[in-house]
Structure 1
Amino acid sequence: MAFPNDVGLADMVSVVRRPVQAGTIRLIDCVVALRDEDGALGLLDLEDGLPAALAGLDIDENDLLSDADLEVLTDSLGDDQQGLALVYEEVWAREAVNELEALGAEIALFGRITPEDVEAAFAAQEVRS
């Protein structure tokens, strides 16, 4: 995720705090790319210790984001951006897979539809109505 430079760390992380606290997702790894006063980008691995503003955010002790992953993050950010790299598990999906396996079922096809495509589909439906 990319954020404007003026968005604070607590606001950046609030995007995932609510679903973590609700048990919707499990946060496995999280690294923040923050800019200092001079505009230099630095990395903060949140599982190494949380700043006081983020106290209570539950992050597993995993180190799944590689140096290559973090390079992709930092290379993709503009000079006016900072970012957040996440590895997370959708808890409902794990529970659904367990139930499917118990029934002997399997997922035969999986696809992800972008938010932009969903919006376009709804807009097209409204035009037809």
Structure 2
Amino acid sequence: MTERDLDELGPVDFLVIEFPEGQANFTGEIAAELVNLVEAGTIRVIDAMVLTKEDDGSVDAMELSDAGDLGDLVEIEAQLAELLAADDVTNLANAMEPGSVAGVLVYENLWAGPFAAATRRAGGQLIANGRIPVQAIIASIEADEALETTGA
């Protein structure tokens, strides 16, 4: 990346999405949606890999390029920086259940790049961030609805 690219860098996030043993149903929909996000300029994929955790706890990490037929992901794979190190893989795999498979995605939020750059130029720096799981939002909405229904 050039110095200008770094100056304009948007926030970088990572996701680890686990598919419990026997519950993976890969149809290509995930890859298609990821390609849509990239093509729309919403995100730039920096790194992606697949982790497999065996029942004995051992972990196999596979770069996206080694995952077989990539279909529409082939263009994204060609641009990956392979940012994740062996220690990162170990730490991420600690969250996985034995027998599961997980996808790891490191991406830049391109949509937020101009805002992040303006914030840095103004002397600001990110000191905290987080994400509210969808399940927590659904539970909160359902609890509110239940209160409205019961009148309590």
TM-score, normalising length: structure 1: 0.66
Counterparts in 2 of 1:68 and 1:9: CA distance versus 1, 3 Å = farther
Identical pairs, percent: 21
Counterparts in 2 of 1:23 and 1:63: CA distance versus 1, 3 Å = same
Any unmatched runs of 5+ in structure 2?
A: 1-16
Conserved 8 A contact 1:12-1:84: no
3-state secondary structure, aligned to 1:88: strand
1:78-97 superposed matches below 5 A:
78-97=97-116
Conserved 8 A contact 1:35-1:82: yes
- Whether 1:54 and 2:54 are equivalent positions in the alignment is no
- Greater mean alpha carbon deviation, residues 108-117 or residues 78-87: 108-117
Any unmatched runs of 5+ in structure 1?
A: none
Give me the whole-angstrom Cα distance separating, in 1, the residues matched to 2:20 and 2:125.
38
* Larger RCO: 1 or 2 (CA < 8 Å, sep 6+): 2
Conserved 8 A contact 1:41-1:82: no
Give me the whole-angstrom Cα distance separating, in 2, the residues matched to 1:110 and 1:73.
20
1:33-52 superposed matches below 5 A:
33-34=51-52, 42-46=60-64, 48=65, 51-52=68-69
* Cα offset, 1:82, TM superposition: 0.2
1:8-62 residue CA offsets vs partner (Å, 9 max, x unmatched): 38455445333223221110001112479xxx8532212x466334344414331
Give me the whole-angstrom Cα distance separating, in 2, the residues matched to 1:3 and 1:93.
29
Q: Give 2:94's aligned residue.
A: 75
Give me the whole-angstrom Cα distance separating, in 2, the residues matched to 1:68 and 1:106.
30
Counterparts in 2 of 1:110 and 1:41: CA distance versus 1, 3 Å = closer
Counterparts in 2 of 1:76 and 1:69: CA distance versus 1, 3 Å = same
| C-alpha RMSD over aligned residues | 3.5
- Whether 1:7 and 2:11 are equivalent positions in the alignment is no
In the alignment, residue 17 of structure 1 is paired with which amino acid?
A: V
* Cα offset, 1:109, TM superposition: 6.5
Give me the whole-angstrom Cα distance separating, in 1, the residues matched to 2:84 and 2:126.
29
Counterparts in 2 of 1:13 and 1:27: CA distance versus 1, 3 Å = same
